[in-house]
């Protein structure tokens, strides 16, 4: 699983530019599903058909494959690039961070000396990307090019580090689940959707949910933790203590019946789990929930420290627990 996580985490895929990560995932799921397609928004839609029968459901599982990034807005005569954010970027966490463009060019995020970074927090507009160029002619990048934080994936014991575990960790769960379902007896049709542009407004999930009309949906994403020093607001989610079942976030209330079934399954199978109330942020489930006439939807969240920074953290045991929970949940009838 760590090898899979490393490959997915190190593939390029800033929001709106997901081609490379989509190709990697497509290779990983080859032979595991019955149908694969790419829709107009760039979502990768993989269908694993079930046996059917009474009580069989159309189950949509969504993990977004895009990552936050930076977009070049101006290149000055000395070759320094000003930028804007693609998705939410913490200015505080950006200074000194390393970035990588789609062509492999590496840069460092610097801060304008006029911003007095030692005495106050600079705005994102005070930052620039430095690729070590002597002047503008040595810079290959153009306005509109994007980059993501780098370096890539590292594992230390059970803990994974990477700038984009939001949400490559969720993609790992979905790919690993498809691996384990390959020869499993499942009645339900599983629509595994690797969505685009979640970080800029849950856009891919919105169109995919409309097109697929699932009977129920579960998003796979990360969430914050309350186990850091002086965490504020207080939150009963900790790294390594189990997959978190979303009760509510700022964009949705998880479907009570679906959450109840997931909790029952976790308790029956002895799978460590937590209950999540996230006071800021949301997931693809919020968009799918409102598709067409509405979809019973919730999310399974992987506890993650330092979300939206160049060094996010996830525990492999929580990832494995999410896979176990989904496999057990899909293995029987689903009554909401």
pLDDT at 39: 97
Average pLDDT over residues 148-177: 96
pLDDT in tens, 73-126: 999 999 999 999 999 999 888 999 999 999 999 999 999 877 665 667 788 899
Angstrom distance (rounded) from CA 74 to CA 155: 36
Task: With a cut of 90, say whether residue 21 has pLDDT above it.
Answer: yes
Total-model pTM: 0.95
pLDDT in tens, 180-214: 999 899 999 999 999 999 999 999 999 999 999 99
CATH superfamily for 69-150 is Peptidase M42, domain 2 (2.40.30.40)
pLDDT at 64: 98
Q: Cis peptide leading into 194, omega within 30 of 0?
A: no
Domain ranges of the chain: 2-67+164-330, 69-150
The gap between the terminal CA atoms of the chain, to the nearest Å, is 32
Residue position matching structure tokens 């009963």: 236
Average pLDDT over residues 278-286: 95
How many other C-beta atoms can be found within 10 angstroms of the C-beta atom of residue 32?
A: 17
pLDDT at 120: 73
Domain boundaries 2-67+164-330, corresponding CATH code: 3.40.630.10
Nearest to 188 by CA among 292, 30, 47, 63: 47
From the number of C-beta atoms within 10 Å of its C-beta (0-12, 13-18, 19+), residue 34 rates as: exposed
Residue position matching structure tokens 């949400």: 167
Angstrom distance (rounded) from CA 71 to CA 28: 29
Angstrom distance (rounded) from CA 293 to CA 40: 22
pLDDT at 54: 85
SS3 253: strand
pLDDT band at 233 (very low <50, low <70, confident <90, very high): confident
From the number of C-beta atoms within 10 Å of its C-beta (0-12, 13-18, 19+), residue 229 rates as: exposed
Q: Is 198 a catalytic residue?
A: yes
Task: With a cut of 70, say whether residue 283 has pLDDT above it.
Answer: yes
pLDDT at 123: 86
pLDDT at 107: 97
Share of the chain above pLDDT 90, in %: 90
Are the C-beta atoms of residues 192 and 223 closer than 8 Å to each other? Answer: no
Angstrom distance (rounded) from CA 92 to CA 203: 27
The catalytic residue among 28, 198, 199, 276 is 198
Mean pLDDT of the chain: 95
Average pLDDT over residues 33-62: 95
pLDDT in tens, 43-52: 999 999 999 8
């Amino acid at each position: 699983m760590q090898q899979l996580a490393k490959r997915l985490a190190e593939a390029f895929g800033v929001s709106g530019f997901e081609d490379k990560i989509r190709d990697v995932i497509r290779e990983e799921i080859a032979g595991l599903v019955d149908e694969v397609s790419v829709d107009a928004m760039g979502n990768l839609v993989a269908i694993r058909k079930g046996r059917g029968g009474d009580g069989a459901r159309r189950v949509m599982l969504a993990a977004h494959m895009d990552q936050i990034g930076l977009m070049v807005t101006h290149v000055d005569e000395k070759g320094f690039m000003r930028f804007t954010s693609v998705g939410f970027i913490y200015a505080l966490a950006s200074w000194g961070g390393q970035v990588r463009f789609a062509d492999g060019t590496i840069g460092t995020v610097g801060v304008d000396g006029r911003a007095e970074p030692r005495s106050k927090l600079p705005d994102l507009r005070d930052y620039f990307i430095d690729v070590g160029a002597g002047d503008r002619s040595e810079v290959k990048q153009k306005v509109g090019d994007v980059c993501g934080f780098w370096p890539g994936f590292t594992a230390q014991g059970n803990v994974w580090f990477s700038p984009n575990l939001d949400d490559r960790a969720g993609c790992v769960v979905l790919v690993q689940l498809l691996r384990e379902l390959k020869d499993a007896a499942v009645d339900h049709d599983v629509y595994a959707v690797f969505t685009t542009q979640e970080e800029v407004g849950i856009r891919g999930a919105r169109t995919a949910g409309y097109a697929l009309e699932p009977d129920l949906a579960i998003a796979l994403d990360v969430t914050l933790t309350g186990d850091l020093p002086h965490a504020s607001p207080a939150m009963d989610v900790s790294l390594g203590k189990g997959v978190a079942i979303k009760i509510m976030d700022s964009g949705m209330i998880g479907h009570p019946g679906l959450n109840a079934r997931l909790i029952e399954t976790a308790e029956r199978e002895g799978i460590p789990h937590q209950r999540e109330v996230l006071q800021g942020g949301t997931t693809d489930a919020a968009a799918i929930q409102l598709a067409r006439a509405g979809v019973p939807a919730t999310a399974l969240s992987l506890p993650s420290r330092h979300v939206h920074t160049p060094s996010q953290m996830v525990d492999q045991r929580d990832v494995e627990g999410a896979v176990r929970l989904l496999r057990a949940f899909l293995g029987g009838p689903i009554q909401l």
